[in-house]
Every structure is written in structure tokens, then in C-alpha cells.
Chain A
Amino acid sequence: MKLTGAQALIKSLELEGTEVVFGLPGGAILPVYDPLIDSSIRHILVRHEQGAGHMAEGYAHATGRPGVAMVTSGPAATNIVTPLCDAYMDSIPLVVITGQVPYSVIGTDAFQECDTVGITMPVTKHNWLITDPADIPEIVREAFHVATTGRPGPVLIDIPKDVAIESMDWYWPDSVDLPGYKPTNKVSTKLIKDAARLMSTAKKPVIYAGGGILKARAAEALRELAEMTGIPVVTTLMARGAFPDRHDLCLGMPGMHGNYTAITALQEADLLIALGSRFDDRVTGKVDAFAPNAKIIHVDIDPAEIGKVRRPDVPIVGDCRRVIEELVKAVRSDLEKRHWPDLIPWWSEIRTWQRDFPLYYEQEEDGPLKPQFVIEKLRDLSPDDTIVASGVGQHQMWASQHWKFDYPYTWVNSGGLGTMGFSVPAAIGAKVGRPDRTVWSIDGDGCFQMTAQELVTASAEQIPIKVAILNNAYLGMVRQWQEMFYEERYSEVYLSPDLPDYVKWAEAMGCIAFRVDSPEDVAPTIEKANAITDRPVVIDFRTDYREKVFPMVPAGASNSDVLPGPTPNGGK
């Protein structure tokens, strides 16, 4: 069967199970958009290529399946570099297809030519420039394989226009042949035993769960391990929902804006069981001072993460779920043989911290609206399995702190790269992947302005997401740092609450929009928004610009020097 390169590409995507492509056509990718008309694949026409990339990420976050985006060459390709880098940092499986000028003119500075493969090399797990249409099925298979196996990540396929037009003899390869790519799939029995032995003697152990738990679909295994041992669990920003926040063993989020108990438990621990986490600087604070007395068991699918920041006592390279399942077996047999140390003294320390330093804020009845109050109302008035997508900054930290994530794959955020503007398109992608779920974008006013135009996409494609803008009229996190570390010298952080008029803007984009200034209007407006299911909704919450995110570990400081912020009894 003869197919054009373009037809072969679309057919290959179909065979890889692609149900939706986020994209925007243009000159070089034109031939590929033609067979899309006859394809079973749903295409979502975005308003900016960055949106296509973040939607694909949101889709992948929420479903675990690779997100697919397709854009043209040159500026379209450069516009999708940010989502690629975001996905690379957060290990999100993405397959991005970019058009390219005809192979025959590559290197001549042709119209809309750029070296997409060169530009994206450092921000993809791998990328391909197709030079022969006969290679298309093989490269697409390889691309999906690389994106989804081992440590997941983004890949990119660059297809020149003439390659898309030329014909090829269709085939579908049975398997991929990548001699240099063999993700680890066996788990060392000896190291599992070593890990179980360390766990069996620890008096102050903590499970430090990272995003790898979610990537490996290991949430259930993690719960079994925690419940069997009674060891407390912290969930990093990338692992929110990997262990239920309402579980008795859950201490919540550690790190720069983690809660006091999670930070301090890591700091005081004698054993950290790091599962799919990478000792990120936002978690460790000053590395030399991080968890000084802890032995480390480090489990990661990526060998390069082991020992990169902290040398572990037991290094285990492997898929989190398989390793945890093996650990569960080893622990079970060990527990039958001997008595493990009593964790009651450790837990009583932990309970003291929880009692003395809970997350805290004060909402005065007729005072300015507190962002934390808005988030708590959103949480309480929305279904438990609501998916929350956030941007980056104060609102992200408050959302992570104050939401109760009891289900995996309900928290969609930009952790590693910290991409402002992530929330709206990511929420759209998540809603496309999980149309049955309520999806709230919790966004800041600064972030919202970066990618809000994708609400036009949401309206046009009938993707009814909900957006809560925590509008404090500032680049809030920057303002917080200027207040705390730059002697209140505020440099270029003021945005204005009214410019733009968020309600009018949202309405112009086909959304229903509300504005909320006072605490008593919060709940009724959220209820109204939750009742709307046929189009996107935006609420402009006017929040108190003075509110800061606490606790806080100042950059470069030891986690032992965490600033707890206000406490209910005005304690230390």
C-alpha cells in the first residue's frame, strides 16, 4: 500500500492509540493536516503553540498517556520549546510533531526555517529529523516507546514538508530497535533486602515520595508499604495525591513552602526512603544541612538520579511500583521474623509539630479576602476527585498546601521549570483527558495573563474548565521576596486588579465570569460555577496582596531554619 509521508504519520499516530492532538497548522506542516480530516483523531485547535504543548502535558498528567501536540516550523517550533522543557523537567510523556521546511532547502535560511532538532536537543529525551518517508512508522514507534518507558519525557519528531508529501510503502514495525536504550527492568533482590533491613532498625523513618510514584502508577503499592510499617509519608510538589492527604500517615508537602511537620520530619529523620524523588533543591534547602542524620534508601528509574545530589546508603535503580512491591514482600517476611522498633516516640514528636505548627491563616469576616480561604472553599464545595491545575507562584503553593489531594492524578502543575501560564492550557488538556471530572484551574493574575487566550480554545471546543484567578494585583511571589529579602523595595511587581478587566475579558472569550470581593460571596459564587457544565467559567477573586506564603525556607538556608509563619496561638 502506497501512502504519503503525511498519511503514514497520521496512521502511525492512530496505531499508537492517539485519541487527541493539540495543535495549530501552518506552512510546513500543511500536508500533515490534510489526512487529519479523515482520521479518527480529535484535533484541538489552540490559539498559541505554547498552549498546545501545555494542553498535551495536562492531558498526560491526568491520564498517564502520552500527550501529542503538532505545530508547524520556525516560530511555532520555538513557541513549543517552553512546554518541552517543562515536560522534560517534570518527566511528562509528550510526543511533539513539528513541520520543517523541505529537506532539500534545509540550511538555506528558508522562510520559517529553524534548527528545531538542534534547539530542542537539550529539552527532549530524544528527537528525530525525518529524512525519508519510509522511516516514519519506525520513528513514530520509537518516539512513543522512548516517551513512555523508563523515566518518561518529551520527544520531538521534525518532519520536512517534502518528506510529508513523498510516498512510501506502508508497513508497521513489530517492535523497536534501539540498541542504546534499555531501561532497567530488573530489581536487585540483595538491595531490596538491604533496604528492608535498614527500615527494620530505623527509629525515625520517613517515606519521601516523589513524582516517580505517579509515573510508575505505584500509589497503591506505596499505601500498602506505609500502612504495613506505620512509617510517615511526605509527598513532594510532584507527588501530591500519590498518598492521600487525609490519611493518618500523611504529613503533606515538604520543601521551601512545605508544612512545618513535613519539613521537620525529613530533617530529624534517621532514615529517608526516597521513592521516585530527586532531592530537588526546593525540597532539600541547603543540601549539606539536609536530613543530616538520615541514612538514605533511594529508588529511581533513572540511574543518573542516584547519587546526583546525595549519596544513598542503598541505591536501587528500578520502576517504583515493582521496587515497592518487592519491598512490601521483603518487609512482610522480615516483620514475621523480628520485632521492629516502636515508632510511637517518633509519632508523638510528629504529632507535637502538627499540633503546634499547623498551616494557618486568618480570614476576618469583613476583612480582605484571603487566598487560602478561597482555596479551602473551592476544595470543600467541589467533588473530592476534582482535578486541580495551577500556575506558578504563591497561588500554586497555597493550592498545594490547602487542597486535600486524596486521589492520584488530581494535581497538575509545573514543578521543575516553574512555568507561569501553565495552568489554563494544562487544565484544558486535563479536562480533555478526563471529561468526567471537574477541573479547576487555580491561577494567579500574572500567570493568567500569559496564556488566557486558550479560553477561546476551551469555549470553541466546548471544554468546560473552571478558572479561579487569585487576583492580588501583584506578581505575588516576587513581591513576597522583595518584601522579605529586598527591604520592601518593590521593583516591577505591580499589575493592577482592574487592568485587564478579567470579567469582560473572560466573557469576550465565551466564558461565564464572576467577580468576588468579599468572603461571604465566595461560597455562593463557587456553587454557581460548579453548576455550569456547558462552558468555561472564570472567577476573578480579589485577594489580599499582603498575604505571604508560609512556612518558608529562605533560599540557600537549612531546612532547620524554616520560618513557620503565623500560628493559631501566636507561638514561636
Chain B
Amino acid sequence: MEQHHHILSVLVENKAGVLSRVAGLFTRRGYNIFSLAVSPTEDVRYSRMTVVVDGDSSPIEQVTKQLNKLIPVIEIRELAASDAVERELLIATVKASAEERSHLIDLVSIFDGQVIDVGVASVTVMVAGTPDGLDAVADLLAPYGISELQRTGRVALPRLIRGSRPLKAVKSSDQ
């Protein structure tokens, strides 16, 4: 399933309503978003959206071309999984009695995670990692009893060594 997902790194103007324009485009063209993360960039004029698109329901070439027609969209890069570094953050509140707590802390530290909140009978942990890694974390936490779990959706940037080229179909007359 994972191989049908496409990661689009979309640089947009940091203006009111841009998220709505992008989300609306996906809705009206019938494209499915698997995950979406939006954040400011190093330049305050721009934000970066990392959109993971279901490539089966959404022809990726059309998705990028249609996105590119939105005026506030500056640049789109399609990041192949092998050409990108991706990370995602997971936080989860897990049941942990006093005797289970140290097991849980050990487990989380294997994944370089932390305990960020402690209650009487549960703790909240945080782990950053690759989406696959976080799937594993979620599986391993499950037996303890997860009362709440949230993931941010992935953010991604091109790998430095190989880099990534902008989609040829976009911003180019050569198709």
C-alpha cells in the first residue's frame, strides 16, 4: 500500500486561506489525502505543505498540475521515498501502572522517545521517527492500553546527496 503513496512537498505563499484552497482542490477533484502537514519555512513569506497522496485514486501528474494552477502555490516537488528524508511525530497516552512504567520507558527509549507527561496510572510518550518506525511503536504500545494517540503526518525534505528534481510536468513548457 505504501508504494502507492506519493509525497508532495508544496511550497506555498504564507497567506490566509491557502490551506483551504489546497484542501478544496483535493475535495473537488476527488483526490485522497493520506496525510497533510503544514508549517512555516525559514522564509516567513512561505509555508511548506507535505502532502501524502493516494496515487491509486489520484493520478499524481494531474494532482501536481492542478495544484500548480493555484496562484499561491510556488513550487511542487514530488519526493520519491528513496530520495527523501521523512519524519513524523507521535504522542500517545498509555496506561502504565507503577510496575509497568519502567518497561514502558525502556521501550520508548529504544526508539529515542521520551516521556513528556506522567499521571497516576498512565504516561504520555513522544516518539519522532519514520512513518514505518512509528507504526512499530504504535503496535508495541498497544498491549499496554493506548487511551489516546496522535500523529502529525509526515514532513519531508529531499535527500542532500541525490537531491530531487522538480517535476518535469510542472513549471515547464516541455512537458
Contacts and interface: CB of A to CB of B under 8 A. Distances in A.
Interface residues of B, number: 26
Contact of A121 (B21, B61, B62, B169): B21
A187 B174 CA distance: 8
B65 A303 contact: yes
Contacts of B73: 180
Given A121-B21, A180-B13, A180-B74, A308 B62 contact: yes
B62 A180 contact: no
Interface in B134-175: 169-175
Contact of A315 (B71, B74, B170, B175): B175
Contact of A181 (B20, B28, B66, B71): B71
A157 to B, nearest CB: 13
A188 B174 CA distance: 6
A571 interface: no
B21 to A, nearest CB: 6
Interface string A121-148: 1100110010000000000000000100
B72 to A, nearest CB: 5
Interface in A56-98: none
A303 B170 contact: yes
Nearest to A186: B173
Interface residues of A, number: 29
Nearest to B13: A180
A544 interface: no
Contacts of B71: 125-126, 146, 178, 180-181
A248 to B, nearest CB: 34
B8 to A, nearest CB: 15
B24 A187 contact: no
B145 to A, nearest CB: 41
Nearest to A181: B71
A302 interface: yes
Given A121-B21, A121-B24, A302-B69, A182 B175 contact: no
Greatest chain B CB density within 10 A among A178, A303, A317, A318 is at A303
Contact of A317 (B20, B62, B69, B175): B175
Contacts of A317: 172-175
B4 to A, nearest CB: 19
Contacts of A182: 171
Contacts of B16: 129
Contacts of B170: 303
Contact of A180 (B61, B70, B169): B70
B12 A118 contact: no
A308 B69 CA distance: 14
A191 interface: yes
A129 to B, nearest CB: 8
Contacts of A146: 71
Contact of A122 (B28, B62, B175): B28
Nearest to A142: B71
A349 B169 CA distance: 39
B173 A318 contact: yes
A178 B74 CA distance: 9
A292 interface: no
A307 B173 contact: no
Interface of B: 12-13, 16-17, 20-21, 24, 28, 61-62, 65-66, 68-74, 169-175
Interface of A: 117-118, 121-122, 125-126, 129, 146, 178-182, 184, 186-188, 190-191, 302-304, 306-308, 315-318
23 contacts: A121-B17, A121-B24, A122-B24, A122-B28, A125-B71, A129-B16, A129-B17, A179-B13, A179-B74, A180-B13, A180-B71, A180-B73, A181-B71, A186-B173, A188-B173, A188-B174, A303-B65, A304-B68, A306-B175, A307-B61, A316-B175, A317-B174, A318-B173
